[in-house]
């Protein structure tokens, strides 16, 4: 029978907290950047300009059709050779996470906007609104409500995805758990604490997400 | 708009379409159509399904861009851009003065009845909110929906929705109103309340183009009837010479389908 001993873990509690902090930073940083990328890419795809649309589409497919782990390795080890400058692992991690989630966000935004009936844009146009006014005042508020559940879902996944940055030695929660394990030879405790910390953050978030989704359904 | 000039079509003409052609891909839907709307005139557009009625009325506010011909508003040719430019009137200006009501209402579901009606004046005309709301309330009272001002569209019947949509169009104080089968999506018992609103507008001198399958209503309210068939105006005349006493064979057979 395995004898649990969490006492060694408390010694390294600071490492866990620092790792969790970095996980939060990378998650929110990449979500903010990813939203900006997603909006830009979504705009490019809906612009009606063939060339912009094609570039945006290509980016999306590349990032949606390769595993995040592969992207991290490529940006950290391969990309520097290509451009001849080395990049910091933290920069590579943030860049890759943002580009990855941005490709998905763009599709969520695009789907939300396209799901709004054409009649809405026509009604807005019929009272003299410009395309941009119709978009901002009529289409986007409705699209926002529709895409919110998918957006939150993707963001929860993003939180978990950050654990992959540990492979390029970014000291996130997963990385720190491995460090603690290396110091204590207590894999069961180290990795269980790591899992518990992920749950401690994500469980409340998924509950809030469910609540928001229910509220949106009721208000329709 | 600057310098309202008169056109060959006469001093009364507000909105005019000349030689309108429209193709979707290889399909030519409008094959050179002329329409004039004089101030205060009500024109009824009738014709078989697929004859191009919607396409034509949508060309009148440039919701469809004609592939040929031109739309002329108060003597000014409408250009291709949204804004007024190089002596042509922009599409935005046209639409501020030419309202449209749709078959499926297209109310803004995230806005209340009152907000639906004030949206255009506030956003497009920069009307102060208080003034916009006051005018909107007067219009809602006119269409009998003042007490629904805080309701959302999903809580209205079809007939109520369409009356809000008419109030929304009127809030822009349009010179012309375009109506495309505005009662076709309604339950039969709700058609009357919407037709009554339109009839009242006609009596008040609103200039309108009305696409409808309500033959009796069209004959009653319209000053002039246009019968569209396969992208061309085949017959044009007063209701007495068209719907009530058709001489043209195709029109006669079309109208007879509505006399049960
Ligand atoms: N956006 C469009 N794209 C392709 N074809 C269209 C489009 N709009 C209308 N049409 C076609 O144009 C023809 C006329 O349509 P429409 O103007 O809606 O007729 P009506 O209103 O008289 O029933 C129909 O054959 C229809 O299928
Ligand atoms: Mg039609």
Summarised one tens digit per residue, pLDDT across range B178-208 is 999 999 999 999 999 999 999 999 999 999 9
For residue A197, which of A8, A43, A19, A7 has the smallest C-alpha distance? A19
Closest among A69, A62, A19 to A41, alpha carbons compared = A62
Whether residue B2 is contained in a domain is answered as no
pLDDT for B8 beyond 60: no
What's the pLDDT tens digit per position in B124-153?
999 999 999 999 999 999 999 999 999 999
Read off the pLDDT of residues A30-67 as tens digits, 9 standing for 90 and up: 999 999 999 999 999 999 899 999 999 999 999 999 99
Task: Please tell me if residue A122 touches chain B, with a CB cutoff of 8 Å.
Answer: yes
- A87 in contact with B at a CB cutoff of 8 Å? no
pTM to 2 decimal places: 0.87
pLDDT computed for residue A216 by the predictor: 80
Burial (Cβ within 10 Å: 0-12, 13-18, ≥19) of residue A29:
middle
Nearest CA in chain A to B102: A123
A117, A123, A128 member nearest B92 (Cβ): A128
A38 to chain B nearest CA, in Å? Answer: 24
Nearest Cα to Cα of residue B99 among A133, A120, A127, A122: A127
Residue B1 is predicted with a pLDDT of 42
Residue range A81-128, pLDDT digits in tens: 998 888 899 999 999 999 999 999 999 999 999 999 999 999 999 999
Phi, psi of B134 (to 5 degrees): -65, -45
Owning domain of residue A94: 9-219
Please identify among residues 41-80 of chain A the ones whose CB lies closer than 8 Å to any CB of chain B: none
Is the model's pLDDT at A12 over the cut of 80? Answer: yes
Structural domain harbouring B229: 13-256
DSSP collapsed to 3 states, chain A: CCCCCCHHHHHCHHHHHHHHHHHHHHHHHHHHHHHHHHHHHHHHHHCCCHHHHHHHHHHHHHHHCCCHHHHHHHHHHHHHHHHCCCCCHHHHHHHHHHHHHHHHHHHHHHHHHHCCCHHHHHHHHHCCCCHHHHHHHHHHHHHHHHHHHHHHHHHHHHHHHHHHHHHHCCCCHHHHHHHHHHHHCCHHHHHHHHHHHHHHHHHHHHHHHHHHHHHHHHHC
Largest CA distance in chain A: 76
Domain membership of residue A1 (yes or no) is no
User: In ligand 1, which atom is closest to the CA atom of B48?
Assistant: 22
Residue B226 has pLDDT above 90, yes or no: yes
Number of domains in chain B: 1
pLDDT band at A1 (very low <50, low <70, confident <90, very high): confident
Task: Enumerate the β-bridge partners of residue B78.
Answer: B89
- Residue A177 domain-assigned (yes or no): yes
Q: Is residue B6 in a domain?
A: no
The CA B31 to ligand 1 mean position distance, Å, reads: 13
Q: pLDDT of B72-100, one tens digit each?
A: 999 999 998 999 887 788 999 999 999 99
Report if residue A210 sits inside a domain: yes
CATH of the domain at A84: 1.10.3720.10
Helix (H, G, I), strand (E, B) or coil at B70: strand
Query: E strand or H helix at B168, and its extent?
Result: helix B158-170
Of A117, A122, A128, the CB nearest to B124: A128
Domain count, chain A: 1
B47 domain residue, yes or no: yes
Q: Is the pLDDT of residue A182 over 50?
A: yes
Question: Which CATH number covers residue B189?
Answer: 3.40.50.300
Residue B3 lies in a domain: no
Please identify, by atom number, the ligand 1 atom nearest to the C-alpha of residue B53: 22
Say what the ipTM of the complex is.
0.91
Q: What tens digit of pLDDT does each residue of B23-78 get?
A: 999 999 999 999 999 999 999 999 999 999 999 999 999 999 999 999 999 999 99
């Amino acid at each position: 029978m395995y004898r649990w001993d969490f006492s060694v873990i408390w010694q390294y509690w600071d490492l866990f907290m620092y790792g969790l902090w970095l996980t939060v930073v990378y998650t929110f940083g990449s979500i903010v950047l990813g939203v900006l990328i997603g909006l830009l890419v979504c705009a490019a795809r809906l612009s009606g300009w063939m060339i912009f649309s094609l570039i945006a589409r290509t980016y999306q497919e590349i990032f949606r059709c390769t595993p995040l782990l592969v992207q991290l390795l490529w940006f950290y080890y391969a990309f520097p050779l290509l451009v001849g400058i080395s990049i910091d692992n933290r920069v590579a991690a943030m860049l890759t996470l943002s580009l990855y989630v941005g490709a998905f966000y763009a599709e969520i935004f695009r789907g939300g906007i396209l799901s709004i009936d054409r009649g809405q844009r026509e009604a807005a146009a019929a009272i003299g609104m410009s395309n941009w006014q119709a978009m901002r005042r009529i289409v986007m508020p409705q699209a926002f409500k529709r895409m919110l559940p998918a957006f939150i879902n993707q963001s929860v996944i993003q939180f978990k995805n950050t654990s992959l940055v540990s492979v390029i030695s970014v000291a996130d929660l997963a990385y720190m758990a491995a460090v603690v394990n290396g110091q204590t030879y207590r894999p069961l405790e180290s990795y269980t604490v790591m899992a518990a910390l992920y749950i401690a953050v994500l469980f409340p978030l998924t509950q809030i997400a469910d609540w928001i989704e229910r509220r949106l359904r009721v208000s329709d | 708009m600057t310098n309202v000039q008169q056109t060959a079509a006469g001093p009364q003409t507000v909105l005019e379409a000349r030689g309108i052609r429209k193709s979707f891909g290889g399909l030519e839907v409008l094959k050179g159509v002329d329409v004039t709307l004089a101030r205060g005139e009500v024109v009824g557009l009738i014709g078989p399904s697929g004859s191009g009625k919607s396409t034509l009325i949508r060309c009148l506010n440039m919701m469809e861009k004609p592939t040929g011909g031109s739309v002329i508003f108060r003597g000014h040719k409408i250009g291709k851009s949204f804004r007024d430019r190089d002596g042509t009137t922009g599409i935005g200006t046209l639409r501020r003065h030419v309202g449209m009501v749709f078959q499926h209402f297209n109310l803004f579901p995230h806005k209340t009845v009152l907000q639906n009606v004030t949206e255009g004046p506030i956003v497009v005309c920069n009307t102060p909110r208080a003034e916009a709301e006051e005018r909107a309330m007067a219009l809602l009272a006119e269409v009998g929906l003042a007490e629904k001002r805080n309701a959302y569209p999903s809580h209205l019947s079809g007939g109520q929705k369409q009356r809000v949509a008419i109030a929304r169009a009127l809030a822009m104080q349009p010179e012309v109103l375009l109506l495309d089968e505005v009662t076709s999506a309604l339950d039969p018992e709700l058609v009357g309340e919407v037709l009554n609103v339109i009839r009242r507008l006609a009596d008040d001198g609103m200039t309108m183009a009305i696409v409808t399958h309500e033959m009796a209503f069209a004959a009653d309210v319209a000053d002039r009837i246009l019968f569209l068939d396969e992208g061309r105006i085949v017959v044009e005349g007063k209701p007495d010479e068209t719907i009530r006493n058709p001489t043209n064979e195709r029109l006669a057979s079309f109208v007879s389908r509505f006399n049960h």
